[in-house]
């Protein structure tokens, strides 16, 4: 055991041969998409493939009003790990799609390493931001830097433009502020 959870290794293997544990009983984060990814991996392991469960980040979303998304490191967790980071925030008050949705409150925030601009985390608050969680997770899994997101053309008017603007702002180039 690992506290109240069943102890597993990076392949969800338990201390018993040919017994794997996935999902909530294997501990935090207790999220459906983590459980599903673990289950898929274990099925592939049993089928003889070589796999390991080693995500850079697993998105946490609160389906509240407004919605909240946290992916990867926050400014606090980055600081606790002794990382020198740039933190930049872009408000939905300056985002065209948020205006058409009549919900200008909230923001997108990015955390990136100061030395090489590697993106370490995203946080967002606002209407519909759960839909941004995929882009956040993708950027972390792909090892994106601020320049990658800032240099990607984002469709207008979308909430995603606030993601690009947060990256631009971290680089000192925000257009709509
Ligand atoms: C109210 C609520 C809201 C949530 N909202 C979200 C969300 O928005 N997004 C998100 O990612 N996650 C959410 N979660 C968490 C998510 O539901 C869990 O992380 C996920 O279901 C874990 O999957 P699991 O397979 O580990 O467990 P479960 O989905 O709980 O599946 C375990 C299964 O085992 C069965 N079982 C238990 N004991 C036995 C037994 N002795 N014999 C046979 N069968 C047994 C149970 O009946 C159940 O069907 C929420 C959880 C709750 C409670």
Per-residue pLDDT tens digits for 145-177: 999 999 999 999 999 999 999 999 999 998 876
Say if CB 126 and CB 101 are below 8 A apart.
no
Say if CB 37 and CB 114 are below 8 A apart.
no
Rounded to the nearest angstrom, the distance between the alpha carbon of 34 and the centre of ligand 1 is 11
For 114-137, the pLDDT digits (tens) are: 999 999 999 999 999 999 999 999
Token digits for 24? 């909530």
Residues at CB less than 6 angstroms from ligand 1? 23-24, 30-33, 35, 63
- How far apart are the C-alpha atoms of 16 and 119, rounded to whole Å? 38
- Active site (annotated) includes residue 156: yes
Token digits for 158? 């979308």
The reply to whether the predicted model has a pTM over 0.75 is: yes
Question: Taking all residues of the chain, what is their mean pLDDT, rounded to a whole number?
Answer: 97
Rounded to the nearest angstrom, the distance between the alpha carbon of 111 and the centre of ligand 1 is 31
Instruction: Please report where in the chains the tokens 């601009």 appear, as a residue.
Output: 117
Q: Residue 39 CA: which ligand 1 atom is closest?
A: 25
Q: Residue 63 CA: which ligand 1 atom is closest?
A: 8
Residue 126: C-alpha distances to residues 5, 101, 108 (Å): 33, 11, 8
Residue of 154, 156, 173, 176 marked catalytic: 156
Say if CB 85 and CB 170 are below 8 A apart.
no
Q: What per-residue confidence (pLDDT) applies to 175?
A: 82
Rounded to the nearest angstrom, the distance between the alpha carbon of 42 and the centre of ligand 1 is 17
What's the average model confidence in pLDDT over 66-90? 98
Selection from 68, 61, 71, 75 nearest residue 105 by Cα = 68
Peptide bond into 66 cis (omega under 30): yes
- How far apart are the C-alpha atoms of 22 and 37, rounded to whole Å? 9
Q: Residue 32 CA: which ligand 1 atom is closest?
A: 11
């Amino acid at each position: 055991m690992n506290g109240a959870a069943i102890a597993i290794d990076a392949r969800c293997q338990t201390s018993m041969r040919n017994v794997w544990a996935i999902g909530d009983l294997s501990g935090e984060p207790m999220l459906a998409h983590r459980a599903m990814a673990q289950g898929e991996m274990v099925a592939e392991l049993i089928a003889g493939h070589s796999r390991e469960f080693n995500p850079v980040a697993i998105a946490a979303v609160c389906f509240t009003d407004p919605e909240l998304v946290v992916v990867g490191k926050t400014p606090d967790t980055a600081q606790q790990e002794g990382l020198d980071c740039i933190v930049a925030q872009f408000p939905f008050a300056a985002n065209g799609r948020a205006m058409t949705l009549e919900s200008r409150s909230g923001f997108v925030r990015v955390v990136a390493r100061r030395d090489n601009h590697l993106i370490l985390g995203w946080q967002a608050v606002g209407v519909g931001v759960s839909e941004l969680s995929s882009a956040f997770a993708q950027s972390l899994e792909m090892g994106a830097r601020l320049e990658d997101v800032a240099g990607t053309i984002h469709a207008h008017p979308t909430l995603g433009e606030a993601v690009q603007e947060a990256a631009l702002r971290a680089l000192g180039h925000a257009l709509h502020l």
